[in-house]
């Protein structure tokens, strides 16, 4: 899916917090629906799952506050797989195990979750009393926001054609900070609520909605690249996309349909998180030749967080390696972050990729990164995600030798 950026609290529109989000993993449809209904009555958004096959991706995409896992009808190793699926994206929310099984078994599985560095709540046996559920909600400070019209679902936004895209500019640090590309980030342009950031519409989205969003992103990125090409600019437009969506969508056909006929265009860059490169990189192999032939490169996003295996880069040629913002922020004053950034930049160059600094917010960090031979940078120092027209103005400023920040 398109992993829509929230980037920074300063980029959020409005002050209302999003509803809390709960995932329920339970094969028992009747019980699952009853539990979901009780949670929704308290103002909590719920995603119901009957299997854990896509749990890691969905947790990474939507970041639920709590995951409820039913151990009923599951041999212990299935529950262990669920816990490992939560560990993979470094899930930081709470995990609640419950089921019609011995409490000793539940407690043993809880210890497995604790060994996976998950936040495990005391296990419960079924049936779960409403008072117990409300106590958990109260202790975790969830459900404080009642459902209202102050937010919108992704499905509704797509159906009403309210989804739009802003662009975070990318600057070339080796050519006088010229704008050379932009990363798409999804927004909802609501007629009454204004421009909504992903925290206001992404929670609770299902796979079909996320696939639809990725399709919209590809079409919009290709059309935007045509706009820049008509201005004589080879602007590369990048989008975040999950491996599942990349394999499900006819990406080459979509881009070919909307791209300009001339070859002097910046093209589309597909960004995939480092975690997905490790866990699903091999699934990409059959598609790589088609993407390469169509001139659609791939980048590694959020690099530097979690495990990464270098043999992936020997198999998948990456155009960019994007250094995670947690390493960029404060790299000028933190010697450890500076050394890590330097190593990643050197590694990127060793694999013939560009090193991109994400989340640059101050001049000191920018100067440090430029000194480390970083190639590209993006962040609030240059401007928040902006419209195509605002990107045009920013390009004009960079051509005049000035760098201005354009706010949306």
Instruction: Name the average pLDDT for the chain.
Output: 84
Q: Whole-angstrom Cα distance, residue 241 to residue 9? A: 22
Structural element, H or E, at residue 319 = none
CB-CB contact of 81 with 25 (8 Å)? no
- The Cα 384–Cα 250 span in angstroms is 31
Residues of the chain with CATH 3.40.50.2300: 19-139
Environment class of residue 9 by beta-carbon count within 10 Å: exposed (0-12), middle (13-18) or buried (19+)?
exposed
pLDDT tens-digit readout, 218-275 = 999 998 988 888 888 888 999 999 888 999 999 999 998 888 777 777 889 999 988 8
Q: Give the model's pLDDT for residue 312.
A: 72
pLDDT digits (tens, 9 = 90+) for 188-220: 998 888 889 887 888 778 888 999 999 999 999
Query: Could you tell me the two tokens for 288?
Result: 């790589």
In the chain, which residues fall in CATH 3.20.20.450? 154-399
Q: What is residue 392's predicted lDDT score, i.e. its pLDDT?
A: 86
Domain spanning 19-139: which superfamily? Response regulator (3.40.50.2300)
Residue 268 sits at φ, ψ, to 5 deg, of -110, 135
pLDDT for residue 2: 45
- Checking if the pLDDT of 178 tops 70, the result is yes
The neighbour count for residue 274, using CB atoms within 10 Å, is 22
- What pTM, to 2 d.p., does this model score? 0.71
**Residues 173, 393: contact at Cβ < 8 Å?**
no
185 three-class SS: strand
Does the pLDDT of residue 144 top 60, yes or no? no
Res. 148: pLDDT tops 80 = no
Compute the chain's Rg from CA coordinates: 22
pLDDT per residue over 326-338, tens digit each?
Answer: 999 999 999 999 9
Q: How confident is the model at residue 147 (pLDDT cuts 50, 70, 90)?
A: very low
Nearest of 187, 181, 188, 184 to residue 167 by alpha carbon: 184
Q: Could you give phi then psi for residue 125, rounded to 5 degrees?
A: -100, 150
Instruction: Check: CB of residue 217 under 8 Å from CB of residue 163.
Output: no
Q: For residue 343, give both structure tokens.
A: 């190593």
pLDDT at 145: 44
Looking at the chain, how many residues does it have?
Answer: 408
Query: Rounded mean pLDDT of 350-366?
Result: 95
Q: pLDDT at residue 398 above 90?
A: no
Strands 20-25 and 44-49: parallel
Q: How confident is the model at residue 73 (pLDDT cuts 50, 70, 90)?
A: low
d(CA 2, CA 218) in angstroms, rounded, equals 9
DSSP label of 200: G
Burial class (CB in 10 A: 0-12, 13-18, 19+), 316: middle
**What's the rounded Cα separation, in Å, for the pair 204 and 191?**
22
Is 22's pLDDT higher than 90? yes
pLDDT at residue 74 in the model: 61
Q: Which CATH number among 3.40.50.300, 2.60.40.10, 3.20.20.450, 3.40.50.2020 corresponds to the domain 154-399?
A: 3.20.20.450
Which of 201, 169, 167 lies closest to 185 in space, CA to CA?
167
């Amino acid at each position: 899916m398109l992993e829509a950026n929230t980037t920074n609290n300063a980029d959020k529109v409005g002050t209302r917090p999003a509803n809390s989000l709960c995932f329920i993993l339970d094969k028992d449809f009747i019980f699952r629906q009853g539990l979901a209904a009780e949670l929704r009555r308290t103002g909590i958004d719920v995603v119901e799952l009957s299997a854990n096959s896509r749990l890691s991706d969905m947790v990474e995409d939507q970041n639920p506050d709590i995951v409820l896992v039913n151990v009923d009808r599951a041999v212990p190793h299935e529950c262990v797989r669920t816990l490992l699926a939560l560990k993979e994206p470094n899930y930081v929310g709470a995990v609640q195990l419950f089921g019609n099984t011995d409490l000793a078994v539940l407690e043993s599985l809880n210890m497995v979750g604790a060994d996976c560095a998950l936040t495990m709540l005391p296990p419960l046996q079924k049936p779960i009393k409403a008072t117990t559920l409300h106590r958990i909600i109260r202790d975790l400070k969830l459900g404080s926001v009642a459902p209202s019209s102050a937010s919108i679902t992704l499905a509704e936004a797509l159906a009403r054609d309210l989804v739009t895209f802003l662009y975070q500019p990318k600057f070339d640090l080796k050519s006088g900070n010229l704008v050379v590309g932009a990363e798409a980030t999804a927004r909802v342009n609501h007629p009454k609520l204004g421009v909504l950031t992903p925290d206001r519409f992404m929670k609770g989205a299902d796979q079909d909605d996320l696939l639809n969003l990725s399709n919209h992103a590809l079409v919009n990125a290709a059309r935007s690249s045509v706009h820049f090409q008509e201005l004589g600019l080879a602007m590369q437009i990048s989008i975040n996309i999950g491996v599942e969506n990349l394999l499900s969508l006819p990406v080459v056909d979509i881009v070919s349909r909307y791209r300009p006929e001339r070859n002097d265009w910046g093209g589309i860059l597909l960004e995939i998180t480092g975690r997905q490169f490790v866990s699903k990189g091999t699934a990409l192999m059959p598609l790589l030749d088609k993407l390469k032939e169509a001139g659609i490169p791939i980048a590694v996003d959020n690099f530097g967080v979690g495990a990464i295996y270098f043999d992936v880069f020997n198999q998948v040629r990456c155009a960019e390696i994007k250094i995670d913002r947690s390493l960029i922020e404060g790299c000028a004053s933190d010697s450890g972050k500076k050394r890590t950034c330097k190593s990643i930049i050197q590694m990127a160059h060793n694999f013939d990729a560009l090193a991109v600094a994400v989340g640059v917010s101050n001049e000191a960090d920018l100067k440090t990164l430029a000194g480390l031979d970083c190639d590209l940078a993006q962040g609030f120092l240059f401007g928040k995600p902006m419209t195509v027209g605002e990107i045009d103005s920013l390009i004009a400023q960079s051509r005049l030798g000035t760098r201005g920040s354009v706010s949306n």
